[in-house]
A and B are shown apart, each in its own frame.
Chain A
Amino acid sequence: MSTVAPLLRLDGLTKCYGAVTALDGLTIDIPPGRVGVVGANGAGKTTLFRIVLGLARPTAGSVEVHGASVAVDPIAVRSRLGYMPEHECLPLDQTAADVVATLGEIGGLPARAARQRASDVLDLVGLDEARFRPISGFSTGMRQRAKLAQALVGDPQLVLLDEPTAGLDPAGRDEMLTLVARLGTFGISVLMSTHLLDDVQQVCDHVLMIDGGRLVVAGPTDSLLERTGVVTVDVGDPHDAEHLRAELTRRGMTAEIVDDVVEVAVNGDEALDRVRDTVAELGLPLYRLGSRLTSLDEVFLRQATSR
């Protein structure tokens, strides 16, 4: 997947629960950075996280985190990991500051340092003013932030985020994704599981798609997004967009309006020049002209169905 030292190395990783195979021979090197683990519900994402944390033993195969084998020394591996589960997991009758500080201490920090870092990370996730309130009074978004804070309090090398945007409204989701995107700038690698491909497309450098416990496709996010032969033309005003679409159609091109931007099928640079010239001749402002890429949804569906 990359030439840099892998963050995670999965080698023939298999996990069976009785007759059910949750993971089926996953072999891949995952580089540092923000990595999205994508798959439908039941694809094996949470099982993969549990194995990385040493909370479940693989039926076969092995996992290494930063070169350390999870099977050999799970305690050492866990001491440098942060984990944000998908489900509710915070003690409701304690304040966020207490919970995060206590979990920091259990993570190995001295008491004073744990309280200081709890304050810092709660500030970082936007809970500075709410940190002395009981978690039972928190909204879903605040609880998700508190969960992220407890994952960060030990200054991990890698955080495992299990569906971090689950249950959030659009604004909360954007804020959470912004926080996740910032983690990369702090030198913290992220392994984020989700079934929302848009989330991965928005914040992750690399993608690991699994389906039914098997690897579907993996690679840098950009490399998975293919050109579609369609360019999007954003001229700002919807009326101007309609005017442009009509003119392009009159000139024999295939154009349609999608989300207030014009999408035009092009088959070469000459067609692209004609689109540009048309915009100029109509005297319209040109805010954006670019190739439309396939979405990760399309990549996932195509790869999953072709297996």
Chain B
Amino acid sequence: MTTTATAGAVYDRGYRPYDGPRGGRNAARYALYRASIRRALGIRRSWRQKVAPFVLLGIVTIPAIITVGVAYITRDQVNRQFQIITYREYVGVSSALLLFVALTAPDIICPDRRQHVLPLLFARPLTGIDYMLAKVGALFSILFLFSFLPQVVLFVGQALVSDSALDYTLDNLDVLWMVPVAVAVLAFYYASIGIAIASLCNRRIVAGASLIGLFLVSSVTSAVLVGDIEGEATGSAAALLDILVIPLYLRDVIFLGVQSSDSQLRGVENGGFYAYVVYVVVVATAFGVLLRRYRWTER
């Protein structure tokens, strides 16, 4: 009697060698950068991990939506020369952004160390410098995106509700370079500090608290030394101790060429230059910490 096999069969597919293209350090760095972005945005993770980034994006976009909405509602009024928020002011440090840095920087750094993943990474064509650049780059990209997208919403919305979108664009051409540059300055600063502080801690909560603590201590110290300068024409150089707002002094230089009237550095001679120096020192220190932290992989 002839029988026909109807049941499933088990095949041992064995092992198939890979003979396709291989990348080197650049590919490794880029792969780690993409993996870090996915992790920060909660992609391929549970829905809980997606809440923080997208709530932040919503929060930081609200001012743009309100501004555009008000502009739309009042579009027919004769004297509508007002703005709820300017492009310069929109490049700012919100509590939501700080909280996001305090949550995200530890999340893309601490588990690698705490769960001993680093030996797996550094057993591949990746150096400590590559690792550092990938992590800072990932956080920078997200912060840039989350700070720049609302500006895009604001600009496009304002252009569309204006009498002439073309005229609005031509009138605000300088914004098209000022905003991305200022946002990049801000994002790079917080990405560097966030990753550097997080690299010193194994636990995410400790890293997040340390980051917020650093900003709070520097802000309070600066506020005590600066004192009450409300209404005075000249601010105080002691404001430079507040490392939280250093990028905002550079933002003023980018947008206005000088410190704005609401800046604590207003009237301080060479205040913008000193802010630039402090910015460089802080970022260099952050990278120094990172280099020291990850140079063991090169020994």
Chain B's nearest CB lies how many Å from the CB of A160? 8
- Most chain B beta-carbon neighbours within 10 Å: one of A82, A88, A92, A94: A94
What are 10 A-B pairs at a CB distance below 8 A? Answer: A53-B123, A75-B125, A91-B111, A105-B27, A105-B34, A105-B35, A107-B28, A110-B20, A120-B15, A123-B13
Contact A150 B27 (CB under 8 A): no
Instruction: Say yes or no: A91-B27 contact (C-beta < 8 A), given A55-B122, A120-B13, A154-B18.
Output: no
A89 to chain B: closest residue by CB: B116
State which of B22, B111, B297 has its C-beta within 8 Å of the C-beta of A55: B297
Bound: A85/B119 CA distance, A: 8
A160 to chain B: closest residue by CB: B123
Contact A89 B35 (CB under 8 A): no
Q: Mostly helix, strand, loop or mixed at chain B's interface?
A: loop
Contacts of A110 in B (CB 8 A): 20-21, 23
B292 within 8 A of A: no
Contact B123 A91 (CB under 8 A): no
A104 to chain B: closest residue by CB: B31
What are the 7 closest A-B residue pairs judged by CB atoms, nearest first?
A105-B31, A83-B123, A155-B18, A108-B22, A186-B15, A108-B23, A79-B125
Instruction: Place the interface of chain A in its size category.
Output: 35 or more
Bound: A87/B45 CA distance, A: 24
Instruction: Say yes or no: A57-B13 contact (C-beta < 8 A), given A85-B120, A102-B31, A108-B28.
Output: no
Bound: A187/B124 CA distance, A: 20
Contact A124 B15 (CB under 8 A): yes
16 more CB-based (< 8 A) A-B contacts, given A103-B124, A108-B124: A55-B297, A55-B299, A87-B116, A89-B117, A90-B120, A91-B111, A92-B115, A98-B44, A106-B121, A107-B125, A108-B24, A120-B16, A123-B13, A150-B120, A154-B124, A186-B15
B21 to chain A: closest residue by CB: A110
Contacts of A150 in B (CB 8 A): 120
Q: 1/0 per position for A218-229, CB-CB distance to B under 8 A? A: 000000000000
Contact B18 A75 (CB under 8 A): no
How many A-B contacts at CB < 8 Å in the complex? 105
Chain B's nearest CB lies how many Å from the CB of A25? 20
Contacts of A108 in B (CB 8 A): 22-24, 27-28, 124-125
Instruction: Say yes or no: A55-B23 contact (C-beta < 8 A), given A108-B28, A120-B13, A186-B17.
Output: no
A53 to chain B: closest residue by CB: B123
Contact B32 A90 (CB under 8 A): no
State which of A88, A98, A107 has its C-beta within 8 Å of the C-beta of B116: A88
B296 to chain A: closest residue by CB: A55
Contacts of B18 in A (CB 8 A): 109, 113, 117, 154-155
Bound: A79/B119 CA distance, A: 14
Contacts of A261 in B (CB 8 A): none
B75 within 8 A of A: no
B293 within 8 A of A: no
B199 within 8 A of A: no
Contacts of A298 in B (CB 8 A): none
Q: 1/0 per position for A146-189, CB-CB distance to B under 8 A? A: 00001000110000000000000000000000000010001100
Bound: A64/B255 CA distance, A: 57
A133 within 8 A of B: no
Q: Which of B1-59 contact A (CB under 8 A)?
A: 13-18, 20-25, 27-28, 31-32, 34-35, 44-45
